[in-house]
Structure 1
Amino acid sequence: MMSCSEIYNKLEEFRSSVSKSIEEVTDLDGTCKSMLKRYLADTDSINELAIVKIQAIIDYMYEQVNIGNWKEVKLFLRKTITIACYLKLLALTKTSNEVTDSLVKDLFKIIDFGIMFGCPIDEEPELLQSCATLLSSFDLISHNLSASSSQNQDTTEVDSKQYNAQPIEVVDCPSMETFYKNYIVAEKPVILENCVNHWPALNKWKDQNYFIKLAGLRTVSIEIGRDYTESDWTQKLMTIEEFIKNFIYQSNGPTGYLAQYQLFEQIPELKDDIAEPEYCCFSDSDEPVDVMAWYGPKGTISPLHHDPKRNLLTQVVGEKQIFLFSPKDSEYLYPHEHELLNNTARIDPRFPDFEKYPKYKDAKVYFCVLRPGQMLYIPPKWWHFVESLSISFSVSFWWK
């Protein structure tokens, strides 16, 4: 078993570059900045009282970043959280006598807090992710792996005819030219087959124990509730292990969904199981592709909505039924009037209420069941409703 001092020495290797990053938080108040500089320059001064002071800085920065609009939060506040979380990792391993399960859990919790509420520092952009990889490599904690495999799940048989819908075209790994001309330019949805057969995820992710062993102690944000338009919908932080054991196989109680989540930025090891599709190269900007994870039990729902970017929704585990509508049919779908929900419609295409929404009868419905290994191209502004027919893991690639 690795000792606390050995873990500390490994984490301490990042200290030089983190010390240089103090220059990136020039707007930080003098007291906080001098404290961070002192602990980074003189680790002998780190003791149990230092942990309290470092946590006070983290708490103060957290209060500041939660004031107002998240997009307007000044970067120096978030960079300070990253630096302070790194210092707390050093402080805890320096002042602890032995490596316990409780200590390891606390270390991962600090890392994930820093990743979620902090941001990369220029000198060491992957600082906290690297710390997490380091801890994971030590195999410091054993998990009680009791989750079942998601293979051989019962799924609901559905057909486009029961919804009076048009099936979505399916093509076998089209050429780049064909995809661009027939679907990107034409803004037409399509299902792509045999494009991701090389992904290790297609086999590895069938077993929920894989996630528990690789990232069970990592903290993520889980959506709790039927969908985000419901009044009782909320979000809760929990470990991936807690999520799998309490929600993935849970048929009673509220639904838990890891939805639209940048899991692969937080846990780079999972990124090794997938690959960005070449089709994403057809971009109108230099912005990187947004890669999002969607992981949940049978019955998770994304209500009818549209997004501004192109989307390749890739099904890895399980099946999803998806309804699509052209932007031309927006008036028939009764979008919410509230500004925060104006990209979301009030129609549930599974159970349309024609008395309440009479114009819906004029909408043209497209439908598919997306299966493992398939990618659905959703053009910008196309409305889509998504429901998991089984335990499901999907990856979306969004780009402009």
Structure 2
Amino acid sequence: MQTCEEIYYKLESFKDSVKESLSEIEELDVTCKTNLQNYLNNMNSKNPTAIIKIQAIIDYMYERVNIGNWKEVKLFLRKTITIASYLKLVYHVKQADMLDDLFIKESYKIIDFGILFGCPLDREPKLLQNCASCFNDVSQPSFYNVCNDKCMVDSVQESIDFEHNKYSTHHLDVLDCPSMEHFYRNYILKEQPVILNNCINHWPALSKWKDINYLKKVAGSRTVPIELGRVYTDTDWTQKLMTVDEFISKHIYQCDSSTGYLAQYQLFEHIPELKKDISEPEYCCFSDDEEAIDIMAWFGPKGTISALHHDPKRNLLTQVIGEKRLFLFSPSDSDFLYPHEHELLNNTAQVDPREPDLEKYPKYKNATPFYCVLHPGQMLYIPPKWWHFVESLSISISVSFWWS
């Protein structure tokens, strides 16, 4: 088992690259930057007031990044949060006497705040993720709660033909691991959705993620954003930061609590250990640019919903645990789906395809809905601008690969 001193020396190995990264926050005021530089230069000494003063810098940066539109926040402010979070972690470890439960949880809390509100440094893009890995060898049996319901598999036996008749929907093509050429010519170029079978049979996630205790051990102490509410278009919808352990306890197995959903989140950038359980499908290579593929995680209980909407990028929605049902519509059906008029929601439709109100939305009868139930091991290719409504039929974990 590691000691606090051993963890400190691992963290100290990033010191030089963090020092070099100070050039990336040149716009920072002189007082804050000088303080950060001094704390970097004197990391080896125990300074009882260091954490308080570093936290003051973090609080100041946090206030500044939360003013106005998040997309317009200056990067140097977020990079300052990253550097300050690293320093706070170092001094937290330096002042610790033992590796107890509270120490580990507080360490991850410091790291996760930096990941969530900071941003990568050019010279050390994975700084805080690498810091988190320094704690991987710590013996953890007492650091997370073992769940008696180890298996999350709750398979749904859905009569597809019945559902197609009920909703007057059309079938999607289903292919067994198609060739790259066939997929490109018939689905990428033609912008047609398709279900792909037997393409991810090699993923460790298909077996590992069935065990809830595996997820709790790897990610239980990590803080992530959770959506609270039935659907994001509702007025009472909100978000809250909580640990994965807390999310599982309150929202995966507690039916009487509000719906919680870890949705559209870059979990694998946050916790790289989980990324080892999946791999990028080769079909994502058909790209129009050099941008990196966005890999998003979706984890929630039965009943989570993504309202009918469309996205600008290509999407391979990959089902790992549980089942989801989807309704899809071509972009040519947009006028029949009654998109919201507000600019922030104009990619979201007002119609619920499960129970369309034809008196309120009479043009919906002209739409052509496609329907499918996605099972573990299947991928659904959703072309850009195709409308899709998604509902979890059981506890579900999915991974989306988005690319242009």
Structures share fold, TM-score greater than 0.5: yes
Aligned to 1:392: 396
Quote the Cα distance in structure 1 between the aligned partners of 2:312 and 2:41: 46
- Alignment pair present for 1:113 and 2:113: yes
1:46 to partner: Cα distance: 4.7
- 1:237-266 CA-to-partner distances (Å, cap 9, x unmatched) read 000011111111122231000000000000
Gaps of 5+ in 2: none
Aligned to 1:334: 338
- 1:156-210 CA-to-partner distances (Å, cap 9, x unmatched) read 5552221100011101111111001100111100000111111111111111111
Quote the Cα distance in structure 2 between the aligned partners of 1:50 and 1:77: 20
Quote the Cα distance in structure 1 between the aligned partners of 2:282 and 2:326: 23
- 1:346-376 CA-to-partner distances (Å, cap 9, x unmatched) read 0000011111111111100100000011000
2:155–2:323 contact (8 Å) kept in structure 1: no
2:140–2:217 contact (8 Å) kept in structure 1: no
Aligned to 1:376: 380
Aligned to 1:162: 166
Q: 3-state SS of the aligned residue for 2:307? A: strand
Aligned to 2:79: 79
Q: 3-state SS of the aligned residue for 1:135? A: coil
Gaps of 5+ in 1: none
Compute the TM-score of the two structures, normalised by the length of structure 2.
0.97
1:99 to partner: Cα distance: 2.1
Quote the Cα distance in structure 2 between the aligned partners of 1:362 and 1:4: 66
Aligned to 1:283: 287
Quote the Cα distance in structure 1 between the aligned partners of 2:156 and 2:179: 34
- 1:58-111 CA-to-partner distances (Å, cap 9, x unmatched) read 011111111111111111111111100000011111112222211111110110
Aligned to 1:182: 186
Quote the Cα distance in structure 1 between the aligned partners of 2:118 and 2:239: 19
Q: 3-state SS of the aligned residue for 2:136? A: helix
Aligned to 2:55: 55
Aligned to 2:152: 150
Aligned to 2:260: 256
Paired amino acid for 1:30:
V
What is the correspondence of 1:237-316 to structure 2 with a 5 Å cutoff?
237-316=241-320
Identity %: 65
1:317–1:391 contact (8 Å) kept in structure 2: yes
Q: 3-state SS of the aligned residue for 1:150? A: coil
Q: 3-state SS of the aligned residue for 2:88? A: helix
Quote the Cα distance in structure 2 between the aligned partners of 1:250 and 1:121: 39
Q: Which of 335, 350, 360 is the matching residue for 1:356?
A: 360
2:154–2:322 contact (8 Å) kept in structure 1: no
1:3 to partner: Cα distance: 2.6
Identify the range of structure 1 (100-109 vs 363-372) with the bigger mean alpha-carbon deviation.
100-109
Paired amino acid for 1:145:
V
> What value does the CA root-mean-square deviation take over the aligned residues?
1.2
Paired amino acid for 1:104:
I
1:147–1:244 contact (8 Å) kept in structure 2: no
1:139 to partner: Cα distance: 2.7
Q: 1:155 to 1:116 in 2, by over 3 A?
A: farther
Compute the TM-score of the two structures, normalised by the length of structure 1.
0.98
Quote the Cα distance in structure 2 between the aligned partners of 1:210 and 1:355: 49
Q: 1:157 to 1:257 in 2, by over 3 A?
A: farther
1:41 to partner: Cα distance: 1.0
Paired amino acid for 1:7:
I
- 1:333-356 CA-to-partner distances (Å, cap 9, x unmatched) read 011011110000000000111111
Paired amino acid for 2:182:
T
- 1:270-329 CA-to-partner distances (Å, cap 9, x unmatched) read 111111111111111110010000000000000000000000000000000000000001
Q: 3-state SS of the aligned residue for 1:349? A: coil
Aligned to 2:96: 96
Quote the Cα distance in structure 2 between the aligned partners of 1:221 and 1:41: 34
Quote the Cα distance in structure 2 between the aligned partners of 1:163 and 1:72: 43
Q: 1:251 to 1:196 in 2, by over 3 A?
A: same
1:152 to partner: Cα distance: 3.9
Q: Which of 187, 195, 208 is the matching residue for 2:199?
A: 195
Paired amino acid for 1:379:
P
Quote the Cα distance in structure 2 between the aligned partners of 1:302 and 1:339: 18
Paired amino acid for 1:150:
M
1:147 to partner: Cα distance: 4.7
Quote the Cα distance in structure 1 between the aligned partners of 2:94 and 2:4: 7
1:4 to partner: Cα distance: 2.1
